[in-house]
A and B are shown apart, each in its own frame.
Chain A
Amino acid sequence: MTQDDLTIADPKMRAQGVNVFYGEKQAINDVSIDVGTDLVTAFIGPSGCGKSTFLRSLNRMNDTVASARVTGTILLDGEDIYAPSMDVVQLRARVGMVFQKPNPFPKSIYDNVAYGPRIHGLAPSKADLDMIVERALVRAGLWEEVKDRLSESGTALSGGQQQRLCIARAIAVDPEVILMDEPCSALDPIATAKIEELIHELRGKYAIVIVTHNMQQAARVSQRTAFFHLGTLVEYGKTTDIFTNPKQERTKDYITGRYG
């Protein structure tokens, strides 16, 4: 793998020689990658290639699977996130996540967004909390649509709105990195376009990593693209290079639709 021209001086996250095992089965094999602070990084690849697994190891969501085991190092601002001294709860507050299917809690819109700030004690007063909720909803582009019905249930929103609510929920705890695991795969094209627009706007405020099946989406929203296949990182580069001038045969085959 060549990444000479890609080395990021001060990466937000840096993975080095990462392996992920589920029991005996190795799902990720020796992956090294840098995630830049102001960049959107897309992970693409066919189903089962390990891109979601790798994403989930970046905020230790794999810990919830009893048989999962991670080796190698993953650094967040130079700090090993798998070190015993790392507080997983704090890590996840710094590295937020948006899931494939919108998963708002069965609570009001307000309470969904306020959930994170409340458990982390980010708002000393009710007024502060109101402000955090409003700012998160504004950033997620949902404020105008829901500002008059904050007390309604989050589950009553449409699919696209629910997903933006989940993004607002993640933003509300003021993370440094946002991981998105196929955030549009359950949405219709209009809702998808809105989310992509949102990703553009969030770029620069957060380091964003997005897993996607949809290659056009990767091309539209990201500056860096990583192509995974069978648990290995085949190629990583500037998005324009990957899509116009891939170095690896396998990448070329995939983006021209020969498999996957």
Chain B
Amino acid sequence: MTFNAAALLLLIAGLALIGWLAGRARSNLLAGRAGTKLHSRPQYHGWYVALWLFAPAAIFLAVWSSVSPALITNEVLESEAAQSLPSFGFERGAILSDARDVAQGRAAEVRLAAAEPLVRPYADASRKYAWIGIAAMLALALAGGLYAFTRIRPDFRARTRVERIVMLVLLLASLVAILTTFGILLSLIFESIRFFRLVSPAELLFGTTWAPQSGAPQPDSFGGIPLFWGTVLIGAIIAMIVAIPIGMMTAVYLTQYAAPAVRRWVKPLLEILAGVPTVVYGYFAALTVAPALREFAVMLGIPNASTESALAAGIVMGVMIIPFVSSMADDSINAVPQAMRDGSLALGATPNETIRQVLIPAALPGVMGGILLAVSRAIGETMIVVMAAGLSANMTANPFASVTTVTAQIVKLLTGDQEFDSAKTLAAFALGLVLFIVTLLLNIAALRIVKKYREAYE
């Protein structure tokens, strides 16, 4: 007997169906007997019973599934057979999980001899907790169902109650995303605090030497400035030099000049460009653009031109961002009232003059918001820079040289075998926190600008 959550969920769903039918039948019956009209239609009474039957039991099921394995292990550890286990570490964990797999039928026999005596206690404990869980769940389901069932009366406002329950379910669903964000933020903060005990925040934010990969990193080898500079150079300078003009011109063409048929084709194509996985852009940057740029740099006679260059990563990132900028600019230009455009044309301005002197200035706040969002995306972008920008922390304005970014370094710090308590690994969390805060601020600023601007024309 094991605790099979999926089967149990099906069981209570079945019970809920019975509850639904029973609730509906009872409301009909009561209304018929009293000769009055029901406040709510019968199926609402059915839903009321079904939800009361299902929801508490399902919530219990979710909680029990996550709690019971720990309870089972505790019980096993208290058994006599467990006293001979090695006191700590890897071996102890391996023995326990081996015994658990056999006891719960996932493996035919033990691989470690030491696990053999634990199989029985494990099987016993599993069975015990499974029964407790099932009994409690069924009791909850029946109690909920009965409570709801007895409340059915012709004048009972089941419809209103169901509405409220539905609202609660939707609220819980939306809380998941918010709570996850908070969880991520908290974990970043905790790990960052551990890092800042080893290295001061001022050193990370203002130090100019980044060398955490050296054999024994010192506190002064965690200066983040080279990374921040690389991030800004690629994401906020080179990528934007590519994305802003091309994105704007695309938007102007699509909103002002393109025939409807062209627009119908080009817009979805741009959206496809936005949907290309970034890793594909990454190898395009690394395998096609970067070598071509290097050839070009060598031809120009630029020294230390590298195959991994800020320019390659920045250009490809800019291309990736084009659809984003153009769609934000498209929206902003479209939000400028037609009357504004007509007013300018009626004064004898050409379409081009109208766009440059009236439409773009009027759309500018929205476009600026879009650009800030684009920057925030670009500096958080990882794959392209990991593949094309390189990992050497250079402070250089030479776009043909190799630079590194915050995201590339986070990947570098966290991949491979790492001890999770060294300053080297913890630095990744601190960098992540910095990145999180910066992109958050950019997003807030961008959304405020866009919102303020929208209000101006409505």
Show the binding face of A for B, using Cβ within 8 Å. 59, 61, 64, 66, 89-94, 96-97, 99, 101, 103-107, 115-116, 119-120, 166, 169-170, 173
Contact = CB atoms under 8 A, between A and B. Distances in A.
Contacts of B362: 105-106
B339 A103 contact: yes
A116 B339 contact: no
Contacts of B339: 99, 101, 103
Contact of A89 (B342, B348, B456): B348
Interface of B: 259-260, 337, 339-350, 353, 357-358, 361-362, 456
B347 A107 contact: no
A90 B343 CA distance: 15
25 contacts: A61-B342, A61-B345, A64-B341, A66-B259, A89-B350, A91-B348, A92-B347, A96-B346, A96-B347, A99-B343, A103-B340, A103-B342, A104-B343, A105-B344, A105-B362, A115-B344, A115-B357, A115-B358, A119-B347, A119-B348, A119-B353, A119-B357, A166-B343, A170-B346, A170-B347
Given A107-B361, A119-B353, A92 B345 contact: yes
Contacts, number: 68
A103 B348 CA distance: 15
A55 to B, nearest CB: 11
A64 B337 CA distance: 14
Contacts of B345: 61, 64, 92
Nearest to A59: B346
A90 B347 contact: no
B346 A92 contact: yes
Query: Chain B CB within 10 Å — which of A91, A94, A99, A106 has the most?
Result: A106
A59 B348 CA distance: 10
Contacts of B340: 103, 105-106
Contact of A115 (B341, B347, B350): B347
Contact of B347 (A64, A106, A116): A116
Query: Chain A CB within 10 Å — which of B337, B340, B342, B362 has the most?
Result: B342
Contacts of B342: 61, 64, 97, 99, 103
Nearest to A101: B339
A101 B353 CA distance: 22
Nearest to B353: A119
A170 B259 CA distance: 30
Given A92-B345, A92-B347, A99-B342, 16 more contacts: A61-B345, A66-B260, A89-B350, A91-B348, A92-B346, A93-B347, A99-B339, A101-B339, A103-B342, A105-B362, A106-B362, A115-B357, A119-B348, A120-B348, A166-B343, A169-B343
Query: Chain A CB within 10 Å — which of B342, B348, B349, B353 has the most?
Result: B348
Contacts of A105: 340, 343-344, 358, 361-362
A167 to B, nearest CB: 12
Contact of A97 (B341, B346, B353, B456): B346
Contact of A116 (B260, B341, B348, B350): B348
B229 to A, nearest CB: 37
A103 B343 contact: yes
Contacts of B260: 66
A111 to B, nearest CB: 9
A251 B362 CA distance: 44
Q: Which 5 A-B pairs have the closest CB atoms?
A: A93-B348, A103-B339, A97-B346, A92-B348, A116-B347
Contacts of A101: 339
B98 to A, nearest CB: 73
Contacts of B347: 92-93, 96, 115-116, 119, 169-170, 173
Contacts of B343: 99, 103-105, 166, 169
Nearest to B364: A106
B279 to A, nearest CB: 41
Given A99-B342, A99-B343, A89 B259 contact: no
A208 B123 CA distance: 97
B21 to A, nearest CB: 57
Contacts of A93: 347-348
B256 to A, nearest CB: 10
Nearest to B259: A66
Query: Chain B CB within 10 Å — which of A90, A103, A169 has the most?
Result: A103
Nearest to A166: B343
Given A99-B339, A103-B340, A173 B348 contact: yes
A170 B361 CA distance: 21
Given A66-B259, A99-B339, A103-B342, A89 B349 contact: yes
Contact of B349 (A97, A103, A119, A170): A119
Contacts of A59: 346
Nearest to A100: B339
Contacts of A91: 348
A94 B358 CA distance: 21
A59 B341 CA distance: 15
A61 B346 contact: yes
Contacts of B358: 105, 115
Nearest to B346: A97
Contacts of B357: 115, 119
A94 B345 CA distance: 12
B81 to A, nearest CB: 80
B120 to A, nearest CB: 81
